């Protein structure tokens, strides 16, 4: 799935991104420094961490 402008506030699980695409979104939001983008970064970071916390084979 290509990264396209969509509703970024939707939960990542509903968007169907791969781990690599989720990481790209995290990095993009981390690099941006507006308050709104940093809030999205924190939300995505916690979502990805919870999703992959116990499944290390997914991202190694």
38 inside domain: yes
Number of domains in the chain: 1
56 confidence band (pLDDT: 50, 70, 90):
low
59 confidence band (pLDDT: 50, 70, 90):
low
42 inside domain: yes
Percentage of the chain exceeding pLDDT 90: 0
| 37: containing domain | 17-52
Contacts of 26 (CB under 8 A, 6+ apart): 41, 44, 45, 48
pTM over 0.85: no
- Encode pLDDT of 20-43 as tens digits: 887 887 777 677 667 776 777 778
Under the phi-then-psi rule, with left for phi > 0, alpha for psi from -120 to 50, and beta for the rest, what region is 51? alpha
59 inside domain: no
């Amino acid at each position: 799935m290509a990264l396209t402008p969509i509703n970024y506030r939707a939960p990542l699980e509903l968007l169907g991104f791969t781990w690599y695409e989720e990481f790209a979104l995290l990095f993009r939001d981390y690099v941006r420094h507006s308050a709104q983008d940093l809030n999205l970064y924190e939300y995505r970071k916690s979502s990805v961490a919870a999703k992959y916390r116990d499944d290390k084979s997914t991202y190694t």
